[in-house]
Chain A
Amino acid sequence: MASADELTFHEFEEATNLLADTPDAATTSRSDQLTPQGHVAVAVGSGGSYGAEDEVEEESDKAALLQEQQQQQQPGFWTFSYYQSFFDVDTSQVLDRIKGSLLPRPGHNFVRHHLRNRPDLYGPFWICATLAFVLAVTGNLTLVLAQRRDPSIHYSPQFHKVTVAGISIYCYAWLVPLALWGFLRWRKGVQERMGPYTFLETVCIYGYSLFVFIPMVVLWLIPVPWLQWLFGALALGLSAAGLVFTLWPVVREDTRLVATVLLSVVVLLHALLAMGCKLYFFQSLPPENVAPPPQITSLPSNIALSPTLPQSLAPS
């Protein structure tokens, strides 16, 4: 019994000794923990701020990446900026392209030297609009001048010529390049040659090549037939030369027969456009040519025909 009690007391004494030692260790650990806690708090604050900065930087990086992706990806055709890229052109550039279309040179390719991979739709659109209205205006002016020379002709404004001019010019300037572009792509697919021009570049070539017709149409107001044909031939030559010089590098790698036929068709269509404009909008010349001879040859018969003249004038 006494030995058991002695054993019990011994254990308690050892426990109390251990506890007495443990508080010291605890206090030292507390003091150690306190200073690290202070550092940790400062680190947490600075770490938080650094973390926030890192997050902000990451967000800005993500935004930059998204912007780059958006820039790389072409916007859809249903957005306005898609079409805005087609009008990304300056005044000096448009004037330079107009000058290039007026003065074609054999070694200078219109697409490589003037468009430089940045075709625009401003020139083709407004050149077609200008040509349509100038055609209609000069056509009416021709009738006015004819009326002054011959009072028997009754002039009334031919406003429908605006519609005819607009439709014909725009159809020519956009459908012919479409057909040409399709044909060149088909030939490229067959022979896998040099890359042909894009559709926009083809529209630019045709649109700017029509500019030379604007002064030609104005000069057609001069009522001298041989001068009119001269101006027509000159404008047609300049315009067709520009087209041929530009299309030749693409076509020459094809077979000679296809190249010759293609260029001939291009020039022929251009000639048809010029002839059609002249014969439709300036068609008052043939009646004038027909009118004088019968008057001169049949002066006595005019007296006899005088009762019928009012009847002929009435329906006109």
Chain B
Amino acid sequence: MAEAEESPGDPGTASPRPLFAGLSDISISQDIPVEGEITIPMRSRIREFDSSTLNESVRNTIMRDLKAVGKKFMHVLYPRKSNTLLRDWDLWGPLILCVTLALMLQRDSADSEKDGGPQFAEVFVIVWFGAVTITLNSKLLGGNISFFQSLCVLGYCILPLTVAMLICRLVLLADPGPVNFMVRLFVVIVMFAWSIVASTAFLADSQPPNRRALAVYPVFLFYFVISWMILTFTPQ
């Protein structure tokens, strides 16, 4: 009888300890989400209140977008290892530059048969189709850049070539001749190199090191074709 009393006593003393420990753990774990729930909604509400733009006027919205586009133009003109152009992408700049370039490449003559230069639609298609092709190429090579980020960078980096087009049109107002051509050639080459450097600064890091040249070469070809269209432009 004494042995029987001792044997049930041991498990009796051991069993309640883990049970209480489990209960205390459960109670402790229940407190944590309550605290989390209290703080997180407040922060999100504050952010929503800060980021809300429904109350601002149309002028403020347009000015903010124009500032963003202008800031990206400055990033292209002074290219450095920056993620701004990739983080906050938009397609306004590429559209503006593409339309401007295509319009400036139109000739003044009304005779459509003699005009063998690129038409508006041809320039537009080459710019956008070229950018899409380069983007697909970089993604197929394993690049970690998104589709629209690549389009954004390639489009914004047309800015130097658009400036070159403007300068060429001004230079062509003078008398045509070899000096005129040499000036235009120099301007186009400088701006072409500028576009390559700017786009490479943004896009090269998104590729594996052993395939960087494979991704940069199509960009070179793309800006080369645009430069050729600009250089061969003649008003008459």
Chain B residues in 8 Å Cβ range of A274: none
Whether B234 lies near A157 (C-beta < 8 A) is: yes
Within 8 A of B (CB), among A100-156: 122, 126, 129-130, 133, 137, 140, 144, 155-156
Q: Assess whether A84 is interfacial by the CB under 8 Å rule.
A: yes
Total contacting residues, chain A, CB less than 8 A: 32
Which listed segment binds B: A6-14, A87-95, A189-197, A264-272? Answer: A87-95
Q: Which partner residue on chain B sits nearest A158 by CB separation? A: B116
User: CA A60 – CA B21 in complex, angstroms?
Assistant: 32
Whether B11 lies near A133 (C-beta < 8 A) is: no
Which listed segment binds B: A27-35, A65-73, A303-311? Answer: A27-35
Q: How far is the CB of B226 from chain A (nearest CB, A)?
A: 11
Whether B142 lies near A157 (C-beta < 8 A) is: no
Q: Assess whether B190 is interfacial by the CB under 8 Å rule.
A: no
Within 8 A of B (CB), among A71-88: 80, 83-84, 86-87
Q: Assess whether A229 is interfacial by the CB under 8 Å rule.
A: no
- Secondary structure type dominating chain B contacts: helix
Q: Assess whether A160 is interfacial by the CB under 8 Å rule.
A: yes
Q: Which partner residue on chain B sits nearest A87 by CB separation? A: B140
Whether A31 lies near B8 (C-beta < 8 A) is: yes
User: CA A83 – CA B139 in complex, angstroms?
Assistant: 10
Total contacting residues, chain B, CB less than 8 A: 32
User: CA A157 – CA B234 in complex, angstroms?
Assistant: 8
Q: Which partner residue on chain B sits nearest A122 by CB separation? A: B214
Q: When A and B form their complex, what is the total count of cross-chain residue pairs whose Cβ atoms lie within 8 Å?
A: 73
Q: Assess whether A186 is interfacial by the CB under 8 Å rule.
A: no
Chain B residues in 8 Å Cβ range of A89: 211, 214
Whether A94 lies near B214 (C-beta < 8 A) is: yes
Whether B221 lies near A133 (C-beta < 8 A) is: yes
Q: Assess whether A50 is interfacial by the CB under 8 Å rule.
A: no
Q: Assess whether A292 is interfacial by the CB under 8 Å rule.
A: no
Chain B residues in 8 Å Cβ range of A84: 139-140, 142
Q: Assess whether A159 is interfacial by the CB under 8 Å rule.
A: yes
- Secondary structure type dominating chain A contacts: helix
Q: Assess whether A38 is interfacial by the CB under 8 Å rule.
A: yes
Chain B residues in 8 Å Cβ range of A92: 210
Of A126, A133, A137, the residue contacting B217 (CB under 8 A) is: A126
Of A129, A130, A157, the residue contacting B117 (CB under 8 A) is: A157
Whether A129 lies near B221 (C-beta < 8 A) is: yes
User: CA A28 – CA B228 in complex, angstroms?
Assistant: 103
Contact mask for chain A residues 202-244; partner B; CB cutoff 8 A; 1 contact, 0 none: 0000000000000000000000000000000000000000000
Whether A133 lies near B225 (C-beta < 8 A) is: yes
Within 8 A of A (CB), among B202-230: 210-214, 217-218, 221, 224-225, 228-229
Q: Which partner residue on chain B sits nearest A35 by CB separation? A: B7
Whether B140 lies near A90 (C-beta < 8 A) is: no
Whether B7 lies near A137 (C-beta < 8 A) is: no
User: CA A31 – CA B9 in complex, angstroms?
Assistant: 11
Whether B211 lies near A90 (C-beta < 8 A) is: yes
Whether A156 lies near B234 (C-beta < 8 A) is: yes
User: CA A83 – CA B212 in complex, angstroms?
Assistant: 19
Q: Assess whether B175 is interfacial by the CB under 8 Å rule.
A: no
Chain B residues in 8 Å Cβ range of A30: 4, 8
Q: How far is the CB of A36 from chain B (nearest CB, A)?
A: 11
Of A27, A35, A133, the residue contacting B4 (CB under 8 A) is: A27
11 contacts between A and B (CB under 8 A): A30-B4, A34-B11, A87-B142, A91-B211, A92-B210, A122-B141, A144-B232, A155-B234, A158-B116, A159-B116, A159-B122
A residues whose Cβ falls under 8 Å from a Cβ of B: 27-28, 30-31, 34-35, 37-38, 80, 83-84, 86-87, 89-92, 94, 122, 126, 129-130, 133, 137, 140, 144, 155-160
Beyond A87-B141, A126-B137, 16 additional pairs, beta carbon < 8 A: A28-B4, A31-B3, A34-B11, A37-B11, A83-B140, A84-B139, A86-B140, A87-B137, A87-B140, A90-B211, A90-B214, A91-B213, A133-B221, A157-B117, A157-B232, A157-B234
